[in-house]
Structure 1
Amino acid sequence: MASTLDYVDYICDQIGGAGEISYKKMFGEYGVYCDGKFIGVICDNQLYIKKTKAGALLYPDCEEAPPYEGAKPHFLIDKVDDYDLMSRFIAATYNELPMPKPKKKKGV
């Protein structure tokens, strides 16, 4: 089952305290970004966030699961209604993840 746009918008609102949240449609589901940095995915109306040490400290009992077959385990977030926790969790995750590598220009 593909994720609904209503759910994606809700999630982006819930984690909006962490920074500028955006999403892109990817392979029928959605990639989630914070201030331009890829932080996770929404698959089957479930939020999966990349695993970090900071995230584990803020949400120690968080379940882990791969968002799709062949993927590394991510945090499977089930407490999306707690705006403050979600904002702190996403901000901590953002701070620990590396900046994306600049894309090479085509034809160079």
Structure 2
Amino acid sequence: MASTGQYLEFVLDLLGELNDVAHRKMMGGYVLYYRGKVIGGIYRDRFLLKVTPAAERLLPEAPRAIPYEGAKEMLLVEAEDRDTLHDVVDAMWVELPAPKKRKKK
């Protein structure tokens, strides 16, 4: 089942006060970026974040979920508190690797 645009808008609204949040439609879901780094995505209308030490610390009760077969576990975001989510994403950004440079063909 694909993710809906309506759920994407809901998640983008939760993250709305963060500058430079972007998304890309991919395989029926959406990959979410913050300041150029992948932070998570929306898969089957579930908001999932990458597992980082900061995300685990700030969302200690978040269950784990697999976005699609063969993928790594991610944290299922059930919180709707904007301030908490902003803190999590900001803290995660520091821990995530820089995007890989693409080679020119």
- Coarse TM-score class (shorter-chain normalised): over 0.9
Q: Secondary structure at the match of 1:102?
A: coil
Opposite residue 65 of structure 2, the aligned amino acid is A
* Distance in 2 between residues matched to 1:18 and 1:53, nearest whole Å: 20
Give the match for residue 23 of structure 2: 23
Q: Is the 8 A contact 1:18 1:88 kept in 2?
A: no
Report sequence identity in percent. Answer: 39
| Aligned position for 1:43 | 43
Give 5+ residue unaligned stretches, structure 2: none
The answer to whether the aligner puts 1:69 opposite 2:69 as a matched pair is yes
Which segments of 5 or more consecutive residues in structure 1 lack a partner in the other structure? none
Q: How does 1:1-108 map to 2 (within 5 A)?
A: 1-79=1-79, 81-106=80-105
- TM-score scaled by structure 1? 0.91
Question: Per the alignment, in what secondary structure is the counterpart of residue 100 of structure 1?
Answer: coil
Residue by residue over 1:19-50, the C-alpha shift from the partner in whole angstroms, topping out at 9 and shown as x without a partner, is: 31110010111100001111111011101110
Aligned length: 105
Once superposed, which parts of structure 1, at least 4 consecutive aligned residues long, lie more than 2 Å away? 16-19
